[in-house]
Structure 1
Amino acid sequence: HDEPILKHLANITGEHFPDRCGYELVFTFNENEYMTNTELRKVYHMIDERILEKVESSSINWREGKDPTKKMVKKKQKNKKTGAVRTVMKKGDQASFFTFFKSITMPPNEEMDAMPKEDQDELTTKLDEDFDLANDIINELIPEALEFYLGVVDDEFSDLDSHSDEDENNDGEGEDAN
């Protein structure tokens, strides 16, 4: 469901801040029937070169019914009084590349400590995955753009997520493999 939209992607640029405390990615789209934006920006603010503070992103102005992050889902509802069942349509979330364009802020340490451990882990994982993808884009995809376009990339670059999968599979030193 993302592919038809991504066919309108004309360019991706990235620029590091002069102090090396972050960078900005700019995705430029041709005019299209999916969104009114022609440019989507994602900015990574770092405390220093290693600690991510927050991520700011453009809001996407989707045209009516064209948001790939949402889908219509049929739900059955039962009336408690009459027992009658009816089917209703509700909007639900759907996996999409375009969820990448959401702003994320790490709360202050006090707020983070007050959050349930599960919520802390979820936020940290979301931030790490987002930052890993952005790093792959600025450090691998953009510099090798011509090679990607021509289809002559090395196996190393053939799947930008491949090193993420390897990290997940190899980070549990001493854990039993199921």
Structure 2
Amino acid sequence: MSEPIPNKKKDSNVAPTPQNTPANAAPISSHAQKPGVGTIKEEDLERTAAGLFAANPALVAMMQNKLGSLVGRSSGYIESLPASVRRRVAGLKGVQKEHSKLEAEFQEEVLQLEKKYFAKFTPLYETRAKIVNGATEPSEEQVKVGEQQDEDDEDDEDKPETELNKDEGKDVKGIPEFWLSAMKNQISLAEMITDRDEAALKALTDVRMEYLDRPGFRLIFEFDENEFFTNKTITKTYFYQEENGYGGDFIYDHAEGDKIDWKSGKDLTVRIESKKQRNKNTKQTRVVKKTVPTESFFNFFDPPSPPQDEDDDASSDIEERLELDYQLGEDIKEKLIPRAIDWFTGEALQYENLEDFDEGEFEDEDDEDEDELSDDRDEDDESDDENDGTKPKQEAAECKQS
């Protein structure tokens, strides 16, 4: 339905033109002897290249400017064709134009179909919210279907049978911390939630979405009264560009989030830094406090703005943040909201494509390389000793439900 963030707005109905390649090789190693395959390992080659680029920022800038100037430039092949052939090429572009119109119609019909079924899903989401918040109890039929599903899932598992105490938990209202638990099991969201955030997210009573009149959607987070902010709902809206992209897909444009009305001293997106200062003349000391930004899930509602200056050095970083922000919105819309109960129980994790932990991408090393690997480990150990303050490695994701 949508595409990642484009760097520039382009004519969506025109296919990319074949590009030129540089006529001569970049002068990276003009004064260096080329090593043979047997004298250098791939890892060493990568380190050497990285070091060379780091030591020559002017060279990197020159290469980027050179390659950037080639983007969109014709290779000259089309212009060299006979007039009759170029006429046929123009005709095919006309055919493609008709195809693009049909693709746009297709995507529009898909969107309308999504909206049609979203209207059918909405009563189910409302029932879920009532059960989660203790406003109603599930019907006997709903419980029976759910228990049968559990039995089907556990057919191949040897789990000890436990006797249910029907009086246990009678004083518990709904399903406590339902959305917090579901979000902590959703990998991309779990990485954003800090320990401080959890206290506020325990007050989250529902997460839902709605489509806009224009291309886009709105995420709605509903909260009970809490000690952190006064908002009953906090929303974030994702807008698409009015014109469809190449292939008829909707292209993400930007997002807007609600302002959170934090209670005094409860803003989770900042932390207090204290610094002691001493007067050189009187020798008296004072403590100066200031607020500095800090990591928090609630930064999600303050999305980055698209870069205005494409020559800005920080534009690539902003583009990455925009793409991540858009993906988080899509994950909430397409994964969390439709299958919240599966994220709460952790069952949805088995359907996630955890590429980072795919064992099929790794191969066993030959025994003859053990000595070299041992030497590399020794070097890494020495490096670790010198960098005790580095960020710890991320552990494999696991279900937050016990």
TM-score computed with the length of structure 1 as normaliser: 0.75
The one-letter code matched in structure 2 to 1:41 is T
Distance 1:72 1:152, change over 3 A: same
Match of 1:131, SS state, is helix
In structure 2, the residue matched to 1:44 is: 238
Distance 1:145 1:39, change over 3 A: same
Does the Cα contact within 8 Å between 1:112 and 1:120 map onto a contact in 2? yes
In 1, distance between residues paired with 2:351 and 2:240? 27
Match of 2:347, SS state, is coil
Shift of 1:155: 2.6
Match of 1:112, SS state, is coil
Deviations 1:51-96 (A, max 9, x none): 2222111100011111111111112445566776643221111100
In structure 2, the residue matched to 1:92 is: 292
The one-letter code matched in structure 2 to 1:90 is K
In 2, distance between residues paired with 1:53 and 1:79? 52
Distance 1:72 1:112, change over 3 A: same
The one-letter code matched in structure 1 to 2:309 is M
Does the Cα contact within 8 Å between 1:140 and 1:157 map onto a contact in 2? no
Residue 313 (structure 2) pairs with residue 113 (structure 1): no
Deviations 1:5-31 (A, max 9, x none): 000000101223366x21110000111
2:207 to 1, 4, 12: 12
Sequence identity percentage: 32
In 1, distance between residues paired with 2:282 and 2:325? 47
Does the Cα contact within 8 Å between 1:76 and 1:88 map onto a contact in 2? yes
Residue 332 (structure 2) pairs with residue 137 (structure 1): yes
Does the Cα contact within 8 Å between 2:208 and 2:220 map onto a contact in 1? yes
1:30 to 209, 218, 224: 224
The one-letter code matched in structure 2 to 1:4 is A
Shift of 1:36: 0.4
In 1, distance between residues paired with 2:206 and 2:352? 18
The range that moved more, 129-138 or 84-93, is 84-93
Deviations 1:86-108 (A, max 9, x none): 4322111110000001144325x
Does the Cα contact within 8 Å between 1:25 and 1:41 map onto a contact in 2? yes
Task: Name stretches of at least 5 consecutive residues in structure 2 with no aligned partner.
Answer: 1-195, 362-379, 381-402
Shift of 1:154: 3.2
The range that moved more, 96-105 or 64-73, is 96-105
Give the 5 Å matches for 1:76-87.
Answer: 76-77=276-277, 79=279, 86-87=286-287
Q: Which has the higher contact order (CA 8 A, sep 6+)?
A: 2
Root-mean-square deviation (Å): 2.8
Report which of the two has the higher share of helix.
2
In 1, distance between residues paired with 2:239 and 2:302? 14
In 1, distance between residues paired with 2:213 and 2:352? 27
Deviations 1:116-167 (A, max 9, x none): 22x2122212211111111111111111112123343233459xxx67x78x
Q: Find the structure with the greater CA-based Rg.
A: 2
In 2, distance between residues paired with 1:120 and 1:83? 46
In structure 2, the residue matched to 1:152 is: 347
Match of 2:229, SS state, is coil
Distance 1:43 1:80, change over 3 A: farther
1:101 to 289, 296, 301: 301
In structure 1, the residue matched to 2:253 is: 53
Residue 267 (structure 2) pairs with residue 67 (structure 1): yes
Match of 2:309, SS state, is helix
In structure 1, the residue matched to 2:383 is: none
Distance 1:77 1:154, change over 3 A: same
In 2, distance between residues paired with 1:127 and 1:81? 50
The one-letter code matched in structure 2 to 1:42 is K
The one-letter code matched in structure 2 to 1:62 is W
